[in-house]
Amino acid sequence: MKILLSNSSPDPLYDQIVRQIRAQIISGDLAGSSPLPSIRKLAHDLQISVITTKRAYEELEKEGLIDTVAGKGTFVAAQNPGFLREKRLKVVEEKLAEAVSEARLLGIDLEALGEMLGLLWEQDQQSTARAAAPSRSPAPSRR
């Protein structure tokens, strides 16, 4: 589990932890039933207060993303695929809402924004196709 904290961020440390763990669970980097470090270990590793990590874990538990089992530890909650899809859709919607707000500030209309989204979609598909294509080695030269 990778967590990077920024003291210069306006977001509280516990919120930075929550967002990063949530993102790793939603993306599948942290699978269901995976053990998480104890509150004390995470606090030690990140060099922050145990209270901060406790608050982060409490937030994640409220969201149903992690479970704490007394005497055993804290684990990523088993997620059903529909729930994870819904979480991912929410992330996409939030990012699109940000893009719409920025577009409005710049005076970009819906049609132009749609065209930009279409172009980005095509570029991503091409990049994905290139990455998935088997690499071809040049044929050996004959002399």
Q: CATH number, domain at 71?
A: 1.10.10.10
Domain of residue 66: give its range: 13-76
Query: What is the predicted pLDDT for the residue at 16?
Result: 97
Q: How many CA atoms lie within 13 A of 37 on its CB side?
A: 16
Q: What is the pLDDT confidence band of residue 19, given thresholds at 50, 70 and 90? A: very high
The pLDDT tens digits of the residues spanning 31-89 come to 989 999 999 999 999 999 999 999 999 999 998 899 999 999 999 998 777 777 887 78
Is 65 in the same domain as 86?
A: no
Find where tokens 């992330």 sit: 91
Query: Which residues, including other chains, have CB under 8 Å from residue 78's CB and lie 6 or more apart?
Result: 32, 33
Nearest residue to 109 (alpha-carbon basis) of 100, 122, 121: 100
Kindly provide the residue ranges of all beta strands, DSSP E only, lying in 30-72, ordered along the sequence.
Answer: 35-36, 66-69
Query: What is the predicted pLDDT for the residue at 129?
Result: 78
Taking the alpha carbons of 48, 51, 56, 57 in that order, is the dihedral positive or negative? positive
CA 1 to each of CA 35, 44, 64: distance values in angstroms, whole numbers, following the listed order: 10, 14, 18
- Identify whether the C-beta of residue 32 lies closer than 8 Å to the C-beta of residue 38: no
Is 53 in the same domain as 40?
A: yes
Is 93 in the same domain as 38?
A: no
Taking the C-alpha atoms of residue 40 and residue 2, their distance in angstroms, rounded to an integer, is: 16
Query: Which residues, including other chains, have CB under 8 Å from residue 38's CB and lie 6 or more apart?
Result: 73, 74
Count of domains in the chain? 2
* Model confidence, pTM: 0.64
